[in-house]
């Protein structure tokens, strides 16, 4: 089965706190891509990162960092020193190499950052 699980439905933090959004995926494909998207209230998906299954290097981009661990099938996302503008819904997604290029989304985690 191809599946993405984001167990955290909502997270609320105070500005400047660090927060980690969890993502666990399932796939039988050996080649696949993982993504994180941000969806602000406007609704438009904002692409944050893409990672292929052969690249387990962690990545940092400004206040954002991602931890990819194939051993636990996890692709977690950390925001350091959160800001109010980070408030949004964050989706983790999986695109297996087979299956016609379909992208499977997790349920999303709604992040509230309070001033």
Partner 1 sequence: GAVVSQHPSWVICKSGTSVKIECRSLDFQATTMFWYRQFPKQSLMLMATSNEGSKATYEQGVEKDKFLINHASLTLSTLTVTSAHPEDSSFYICSARDRGVTSYEQYFGPGTRLTVT
Binding stretches for partner 1 (CB under 8 A): 33, 37, 42-45, 47, 50, 52, 91, 95, 97, 100-108, 110
Strand partners, 60: 65
Of 47 and 115, CB closest to partner 1: 47
Least CB distance from residue 38 to partner 1, whole Å? 12
Rg from Cα positions in the chain: 14
Of 62 and 115, CB closest to partner 1: 62
Least CB distance from residue 53 to partner 1, whole Å? 11
Spatial separation of the C-alpha atoms in residues 110 and 48, rounded to whole Å? 16
Tell me the pairing of strands 59-61 and 46-52.
Answer: unpaired
Spatial separation of the C-alpha atoms in residues 4 and 26, rounded to whole Å? 6
Of 101 and 115, CB closest to partner 1: 101
Of 43 and 62, CB closest to partner 1: 43
Least CB distance from residue 5 to partner 1, whole Å? 11
Backbone angles phi, psi at 16, to 5 degrees: 85, -10
């Amino acid at each position: 089965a191809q599946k993405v699980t984001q167990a955290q439905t909502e997270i609320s933090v105070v500005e400047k706190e660090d927060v980690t959004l969890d993502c666990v995926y399932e796939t039988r494909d050996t080649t696949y891509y993982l993504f994180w998207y941000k969806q602000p209230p406007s609704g438009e998906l904002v692409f944050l990162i893409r990672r292929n299954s052969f690249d387990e290097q962690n990545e940092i981009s400004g206040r954002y960092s991602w931890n990819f661990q194939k051993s636990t099938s996890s692709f977690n996302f950390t925001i350091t020193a959160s800001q109010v503008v980070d408030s949004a819904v964050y989706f983790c997604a999986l695109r297996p190499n087979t299956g016609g290029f379909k992208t499977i989304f997790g349920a999303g985690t709604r992040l509230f950052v309070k001033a």
